[in-house]
Chain A
Amino acid sequence: MNKVIAALDNSLATSPVLATASALAELFGAEVEPVHVRTDGARVARSVAEAAGLRLRELRGPIVESLCRTADDPEVVALVLGARGTPVAKRPLGSTAVAVATDIDKPLAVVPPDAQVAPSLRRVLVPIEAASRSLTPRTIVQIARGTGIDIVALHVIDETTVPAFTDQPQHENETRTREFLRRYCPWGIDNVQLEIRVGHVHQLVAPVADETNVDLIALGWSQQIGAGRARVVQTTLEQAHVPVLLLPVEIAKTSTGAAGGHVLATV
């Protein structure tokens, strides 16, 4: 049986982590396994698990290694852990979460301590860029399609990608939306609602998530975090009020151009 690992510590995020794991388990058709890496007692973790009718598995050893080793299990389809910090003082990923996120090659959900987690996922926000070498998390879109979950695809136009022409928006926008989804999100075109915003994507993911009332933000990422990298991931994790699912994405090696590039070869 597939498993979603809920990494419970003794923080404010413990309950939302377990709730998120339950929701993801429903999405992935898996069961929840709460785990705790014993460092400073397991009372909060144990009581939250017991309240959910689950048995807590206690792990020993270095936290990161323990969690990564657990995630390595072929039956594990996702890992959920809490973002460190309190609702008042937000910080991006703590060092543990960073280490785990960059090491495992499976979906990792990071849950803010103030997240109001719905028992079932109804709507997921997925940022999409207009590039063939895209980090769009295809898997979540495909899974969502099979389970009837609504996808809100967010595309952000910045100064470099402002379109050249507006023409008649009452016709043009419908066409562009349809074509955009066919190019960059073709796997879920029937249940995807495209939201287009102007600005900088890293600043807009969390606000649009709030605006569109989603239950989860799904971000594809290359697992490279450092100066100037993964800005969307870091800012979203700082600002989001819902769980953020990080999906490792292998960048496609295609060389076809983005929209607007040279289309046609003549003889």
Chain B
Amino acid sequence: MTTRVAPRRATRPLPAPLARRFEALLFDWDGTAVLDRQADGSEVRELVDELCAYGFVLGIVTGTHLGNVDGQLAARPPGPGRLYLCMNRGSEVFVADEAGVHLRYRREATPAEDAGLDAAAEATVAALGARGLRAEIVSQRLNRRKIDLIPEPEWSDPPKARIAELLQAVQERLRAAGLVSLQEAVQIGYDAAVAAGLPDPRVSSDAKHVEIGLTDKSDSARWLLEELARLGIGPGLVAVAGDEFGPLGGLPGSDSLLLVGEADRATAFSVGAEPTGTPAGVIPLGGGPARFADVLRDQLERRHRGDPPDIEDDPAWTLMVDGVDAHLERVHESLLAIADGHIGTRATPLFAHTAADPSVFVGNRYVGEGSETELARAPLWNTLPGRPATPAGVRRRLDLRSGLLRHDGPAEALQLSSLARPGTVAMRVLAKRRRLPESNRRVLEHDGVTTALFDRSEAGRLERIGAVARSESEALSALAAAGDAGFERLLAEHRGRWAARWAEADIVVEGDAELQRALRFTLFHLMASVPESGEAAVGARGLSGHGYRGHVFWDTDVFVLPFFAATHPESARAMLEYRLRRLTAAREAAARLGYAGARFPWESAASGVDVTPSHAHLPGGGIARIRTGEAEEHIVADVAWAADTYLGWTGDRAFEQGPFRTLLTETARYWASRVRLDHEGRAHILGVIGPDEYHEPVDDNAFTNVMARWNLRRAAAIGGSETERAQWLRVADALVDGYDEMSGLYEQFAGFFELEPLVIADIAPRRPIAADVLLGHERTAQAQVLKQADVLMLHQLVPDEVAPRSFLSNLDFYEPRTAHGSSLSPAVHASLLARAGRFREALAALRIAARMDLDDLTSSSSAGVHLATMGGLWQALAFGFAGVRPRGDVLVVDPRLPREWSALELRLRFRGNPLRLRIERTGVSIDAPPALALRKLDEHWEVVLT
């Protein structure tokens, strides 16, 4: 809301499709915004200035040049909105702001193109002349040539009001020359352009002229829509205005060129007379520039009074929940949770409901002690006092593209947790039949976290801006800064930031719309859950729920970090910083056990000390001792692997020379001290738990040993003293890995092959299944039934460390024995099955991973989304199907595309360079800066640094 003077209201109500808030408007100038080039543009200028101050984005699309439009409009609007001037029929784009008018883009014709335009124009004049029609080339504008079909003084500069007369006069001339219609004249121009060597000429007519060009208004429209996408504004939030959409002389109206495919969901309207009608989907508003001004005033009024903005209603990007289902409400609140890397807010209904579980989680902040340590919760900012709404009338929608949560029902609201200003939140509410809190400012505290809120309430509307921080002074300072920015600027920043993040990380699967939606949901939660600076303690459920108390597992290092290493390395670095800052605790843990180096805990929280609970109630009754904290030690190598993964994608030399070396050294020291040598000099790691937690503890778990071996070798390549390096390499070579050359199999742990050879795929009613519940704990422990990929994880994480050609034999052996009783498992198998080209099984596993939270497959999504499954899903697409993997200074691309998909596209960042990788049946291509190039080898591709 604002203290500005209320704008003049629209003269007449607008039709329903226009009576809503838009975020951007593309419009024609001459005849739409102003009557003609002589009209006074001051009223439009005022409206433009005000709208831009409210964050509105405007784009003028016209055939004329800048001088004509800017001469009339002369707008120099303040932000946060923008004014784009798309001039010269799609060939130029300028931005006008307080500092002036700046060129953003110009299509530069090559000399050959210029020559082609000249030749085409001359040929057209000649062709018309041959038919007895005198025409003249009247201008050589940027990238186009204009041919006057009626070069007579009477028609030298006809006003728009005489268009019908003009058209008749031109048609008479054409008929006299034996031409059937204006279309035929345009066709002559088009044929001439093609003959002149222009491959994609844009030829049109405004009744008086035939215009041959390299671009047209559709290019302007596309440019603007792309720019709006970069600002986080989708076409559903855009209005398009003109006065000549309908056909003219048998040719499409000039403004119909604005209706490009990308604008399908935009709302188009015409203020023109449109004598032949408007195309389907264009609202015939009429009323000329005066009515256009009404539309602008209406938009201004909505912003002035503080209406909650709407969100894009794109099915590919929207999650929607209707009503409040008492059974599923907590799940829905997790799925629609919004977060900004620092805080996460569950999508609770605006007004309290008994089924709700409202919380605001604070990342990197814990309360409690020992295994009871849990994420701190901030005071609520997203709910209002009052009786619960009737569930049937409530709708919540999450726009994944812009991270905005919209509520509809007895109150409308828009909520955001600012990705541009983590910890800052904002909400606008319009209550139709509700009493809202009075304007107030307050400071609340919970779990040592402060939330400062400022409410401005007026006439049934509430605007709330808040800041969550670790201290009152920090919160108040952030609140003041946010208040100075204002809601519209916060919204614009937030949208823009999300748009930038999507541009870095989006995945497109062509051929599977349902998977595509699930992927967007997945990527949204990944990006929302991790900060991009400082340290990032990423709990198993991110910031969306209380599940797992925010404890940090190998989930974070192995499943989540790779996504960030490959798309947003700052966040990956923050995740590593979390581990690095707990090296001291890790060293102490190792020392307590009599080992050297650093031993990271299975479950980590604030201090880096192990916080794994010691017991659990079992589903079948009884209490079980939990040994993972004592014995699941592969976490040590997992952390090292995560650091190496980050390095592989980024090439961060400073990290490599400093923290990476320290981390690898300390973890290698741990393994070197941890092993036990037998009398034959073979090294063993006894009494551990591998990823397959159905068997515990075991000796010589293949995953643990091979990862330890990798860890030792990697460390020897980069750190340690000469003596240490030699020792590490000796130990690495001596470590048993359970591999049998004859069978090609890795024995998962010593004695695994002697267990009861149950193949869970044959006996279970379905998979995934909790085999320990189905068969009982004891029976499962005595059988060859796996909870999740164990040996196979080696092929996923360190494929170069396992025996060559051992992949398929181990896949054939272990996959049917895997119950997938861990939600981490399906995504890993999807990846591996894709590598093996077993697409039917790979896609089945992929779908399970993709629907894990959407279908509440674990019955625990009420406590938050499964971030590791989400990271695993990304890895399945990236490593499994796209076959992307850094190898030194090269990014290997070895895709496996199922026939169900026509293309797979990933956004990645390799060595600091963004790239869009596209995989199709016909091959691979990249869209990248010059620093990267794609080369094809025999069996695969490589992206190389140039």
Interface residues, chain A, with chain B CB atoms under 8 Å away: 132, 157, 159-160, 162-180, 182-183, 186, 195-198, 256-257, 259-267
- Asked whether any CB of chain A lies closer than 8 Å to the CB of B327, the reply is yes
Chain A residue with Cβ nearest B334: A263
Chain A residue with Cβ nearest B517: A266
Q: With both chains docked as a complex, state the minimum distance between the C-beta of B369 and any C-beta of chain A, in angstroms.
A: 16
Q: Tell whether, in the assembled complex, residue B822 and residue A175 are in contact, meaning their CB atoms are under 8 Å apart.
A: no
Q: In the complex, A162→B824 CA distance in Å?
A: 18
Ordered by A's residue number, 7 sampled pairs between the chains whose C-beta atoms are within 8 Å are: A166-B772, A170-B628, A183-B327, A196-B617, A259-B327, A266-B315, A266-B319
Q: In the complex, A73→B618 CA distance in Å?
A: 46
Question: Interface code B853-885, partner A: CB below 8 Å = 1, 0 otherwise?
Answer: 011111111110000000000000000000000
Q: Tell whether, in the assembled complex, residue B332 and residue A263 are in contact, meaning their CB atoms are under 8 Å apart.
A: yes
Q: Tell whether, in the assembled complex, residue B765 and residue A160 are in contact, meaning their CB atoms are under 8 Å apart.
A: yes
Give the A-B pair count, Cβ closer than 8 A: 157
Chain A residue with Cβ nearest B626: A170
Q: Which of B154-162, B208-216, B608-616 contacts A (4 or more CB under 8 A)?
A: B608-616
Answer whether A173 and B618 are a contact pair too, CB < 8 Å, given A256-B328, A259-B859, A263-B332.
yes
Q: Tell whether, in the assembled complex, residue A263 and residue B331 are in contact, meaning their CB atoms are under 8 Å apart.
A: yes
Q: Tell whether, in the assembled complex, residue A169 and residue B327 are in contact, meaning their CB atoms are under 8 Å apart.
A: no
A267: B residues at CB distance < 8 A? 313-315, 318-320, 397
Q: Tell whether, in the assembled complex, residue B855 and residue A261 are in contact, meaning their CB atoms are under 8 Å apart.
A: yes
Q: Tell whether, in the assembled complex, residue B626 and residue A198 are in contact, meaning their CB atoms are under 8 Å apart.
A: no
Q: Tell whether, in the assembled complex, residue A170 and residue B860 are in contact, meaning their CB atoms are under 8 Å apart.
A: no
Q: Tell whether, in the assembled complex, residue B615 and residue A170 are in contact, meaning their CB atoms are under 8 Å apart.
A: yes
- Asked whether any CB of chain A lies closer than 8 Å to the CB of B768, the reply is yes
- Asked whether any CB of chain A lies closer than 8 Å to the CB of B648, the reply is no
A176: B residues at CB distance < 8 A? 859-860
B314-350 contacts to A (CB < 8 Å): 314-315, 318-322, 325-328, 330-332, 335
Tell me which of A165, A179, A263 contacts B863 (CB under 8 A): A179
B494: A residues at CB distance < 8 A? none
B interface, how many residues as a size bin?
A: 35 or more
Q: Tell whether, in the assembled complex, residue B327 and residue A163 are in contact, meaning their CB atoms are under 8 Å apart.
A: no
A198: B residues at CB distance < 8 A? 619-621, 773, 776
Q: With both chains docked as a complex, state the minimum distance between the C-beta of A88 and any C-beta of chain B, in angstroms.
A: 30
Q: With both chains docked as a complex, state the minimum distance between the C-beta of A131 and any C-beta of chain B, in angstroms.
A: 10
Q: With both chains docked as a complex, state the minimum distance between the C-beta of A189 and any C-beta of chain B, in angstroms.
A: 10
Given A165-B857, A169-B618, A195-B621, 5 more A-B residue pairs with CB atoms under 8 Å apart are A164-B766, A179-B859, A182-B862, A260-B856, A267-B313
Q: Tell whether, in the assembled complex, residue A182 and residue B628 are in contact, meaning their CB atoms are under 8 Å apart.
A: no
Chain A residue with Cβ nearest B547: A175
Question: Interface code B109-137, partner A: CB below 8 Å = 1, 0 otherwise?
Answer: 00000000000000000000000000000
Answer whether A196 and B768 are a contact pair too, CB < 8 Å, given A170-B613, A260-B855, A266-B320.
no
B551: A residues at CB distance < 8 A? 171
Q: In the complex, A171→B769 CA distance in Å?
A: 18
Q: Tell whether, in the assembled complex, residue B397 and residue A162 are in contact, meaning their CB atoms are under 8 Å apart.
A: no
Q: In the complex, A259→B854 CA distance in Å?
A: 12
Answer whether A264 and B321 are a contact pair too, CB < 8 Å, given A179-B330, A179-B860, A198-B773.
yes
CB-CB nearest 8 A-B residue pairs: A170-B613, A170-B616, A169-B616, A267-B318, A198-B620, A164-B768, A166-B770, A175-B863
Q: Tell whether, in the assembled complex, residue B856 and residue A175 are in contact, meaning their CB atoms are under 8 Å apart.
A: no
A178: B residues at CB distance < 8 A? 863
A264: B residues at CB distance < 8 A? 319-321, 332, 335, 854
A256: B residues at CB distance < 8 A? 325, 327-328
Q: Which of B618, B820, B855, B858 has the most CB of A within 10 A?
A: B858
Tell me which of B322, B617, B619, B862 contacts A179 (CB under 8 A): B862
Q: In the complex, A263→B314 CA distance in Å?
A: 19
Q: Tell whether, in the assembled complex, residue B822 and residue A165 are in contact, meaning their CB atoms are under 8 Å apart.
A: yes
Q: With both chains docked as a complex, state the minimum distance between the C-beta of B200 and any C-beta of chain A, in angstroms.
A: 36
Q: With both chains docked as a complex, state the minimum distance between the C-beta of A255 and any C-beta of chain B, in angstroms.
A: 11
- Asked whether any CB of chain A lies closer than 8 Å to the CB of B624, the reply is yes
Q: Tell whether, in the assembled complex, residue B326 and residue A162 are in contact, meaning their CB atoms are under 8 Å apart.
A: no
Q: With both chains docked as a complex, state the minimum distance between the C-beta of A266 and any C-beta of chain B, in angstroms.
A: 6
B547: A residues at CB distance < 8 A? 171-172, 175
Q: In the complex, A241→B812 CA distance in Å?
A: 52
A261: B residues at CB distance < 8 A? 855-856
Q: In the complex, A172→B862 CA distance in Å?
A: 11
- Asked whether any CB of chain A lies closer than 8 Å to the CB of B359, the reply is no
Q: Tell whether, in the assembled complex, residue A157 and residue B773 are in contact, meaning their CB atoms are under 8 Å apart.
A: yes
Q: In the complex, A186→B330 CA distance in Å?
A: 13
B859: A residues at CB distance < 8 A? 163, 176, 179-180, 259-260
B325: A residues at CB distance < 8 A? 256
Q: With both chains docked as a complex, state the minimum distance between the C-beta of B113 and any C-beta of chain A, in angstroms.
A: 44
- Asked whether any CB of chain A lies closer than 8 Å to the CB of B355, the reply is yes
- Asked whether any CB of chain A lies closer than 8 Å to the CB of B684, the reply is no
Tell me which of B615, B766, B768 contacts A165 (CB under 8 A): B768
A180: B residues at CB distance < 8 A? 859
- Asked whether any CB of chain A lies closer than 8 Å to the CB of B829, the reply is no
Q: Tell whether, in the assembled complex, residue B326 and residue A183 are in contact, meaning their CB atoms are under 8 Å apart.
A: yes
Tell me which of A157, A262, A265 contacts B320 (CB under 8 A): A265
Q: In the complex, A162→B620 CA distance in Å?
A: 10
Q: With both chains docked as a complex, state the minimum distance between the C-beta of B281 and any C-beta of chain A, in angstroms.
A: 20
Q: With both chains docked as a complex, state the minimum distance between the C-beta of A199 and any C-beta of chain B, in angstroms.
A: 8
Q: With both chains docked as a complex, state the minimum distance between the C-beta of A253 and any C-beta of chain B, in angstroms.
A: 15
Chain A residue with Cβ nearest B857: A164
- Asked whether any CB of chain A lies closer than 8 Å to the CB of B774, the reply is yes
B335: A residues at CB distance < 8 A? 263-264
A266: B residues at CB distance < 8 A? 315, 318-320, 517
- Asked whether any CB of chain A lies closer than 8 Å to the CB of B59, the reply is no
- Asked whether any CB of chain A lies closer than 8 Å to the CB of B548, the reply is yes
B855: A residues at CB distance < 8 A? 260-263
B605-644 contacts to A (CB < 8 Å): 612-621, 624, 626, 628
Q: With both chains docked as a complex, state the minimum distance between the C-beta of A193 and any C-beta of chain B, in angstroms.
A: 11
Chain A residue with Cβ nearest B787: A166
Chain A residue with Cβ nearest B860: A175
Q: In the complex, A94→B856 CA distance in Å?
A: 44
Q: In the complex, A261→B824 CA distance in Å?
A: 20
Q: In the complex, A266→B765 CA distance in Å?
A: 30
- Asked whether any CB of chain A lies closer than 8 Å to the CB of B91, the reply is no
- Asked whether any CB of chain A lies closer than 8 Å to the CB of B415, the reply is no
Q: In the complex, A182→B328 CA distance in Å?
A: 10
- Asked whether any CB of chain A lies closer than 8 Å to the CB of B549, the reply is yes
Q: With both chains docked as a complex, state the minimum distance between the C-beta of A251 and any C-beta of chain B, in angstroms.
A: 15
B776: A residues at CB distance < 8 A? 198
Q: Tell whether, in the assembled complex, residue B769 and residue A162 are in contact, meaning their CB atoms are under 8 Å apart.
A: yes
Q: In the complex, A171→B502 CA distance in Å?
A: 32
Question: Interface code B534-549, partner A: CB below 8 Å = 1, 0 otherwise?
Answer: 0000001000001111
A196: B residues at CB distance < 8 A? 617, 619-621
Q: Tell whether, in the assembled complex, residue B328 and residue A263 are in contact, meaning their CB atoms are under 8 Å apart.
A: yes
A262: B residues at CB distance < 8 A? 855
Q: With both chains docked as a complex, state the minimum distance between the C-beta of B913 and any C-beta of chain A, in angstroms.
A: 34
- Asked whether any CB of chain A lies closer than 8 Å to the CB of B821, the reply is yes
Question: Interface code B706-737, partner A: CB below 8 Å = 1, 0 otherwise?
Answer: 00000000000000000000000000000000
Q: In the complex, A198→B780 CA distance in Å?
A: 15
B616: A residues at CB distance < 8 A? 169-170, 173
Chain B residue with Cβ nearest A171: B548
Q: In the complex, A265→B766 CA distance in Å?
A: 25
A170: B residues at CB distance < 8 A? 371, 612-616, 626, 628
Q: With both chains docked as a complex, state the minimum distance between the C-beta of A264 and any C-beta of chain B, in angstroms.
A: 6
Tell me which of A169, A177, A257 contacts B624 (CB under 8 A): A169
Q: Tell whether, in the assembled complex, residue B773 and residue A162 are in contact, meaning their CB atoms are under 8 Å apart.
A: yes
Question: Interface code B166-206, partner A: CB below 8 Å = 1, 0 otherwise?
Answer: 00000000000000000000000000000000000000000
A132: B residues at CB distance < 8 A? 327
Q: In the complex, A168→B614 CA distance in Å?
A: 12
- Asked whether any CB of chain A lies closer than 8 Å to the CB of B823, the reply is yes
B787: A residues at CB distance < 8 A? 166
Question: Interface code B288-322, partner A: CB below 8 Å = 1, 0 otherwise?
Answer: 00000000000000000000000001110011111
Question: Interface code B508-534, partner A: CB below 8 Å = 1, 0 otherwise?
Answer: 000000000100000000000000000
Q: Tell whether, in the assembled complex, residue B613 and residue A164 are in contact, meaning their CB atoms are under 8 Å apart.
A: no
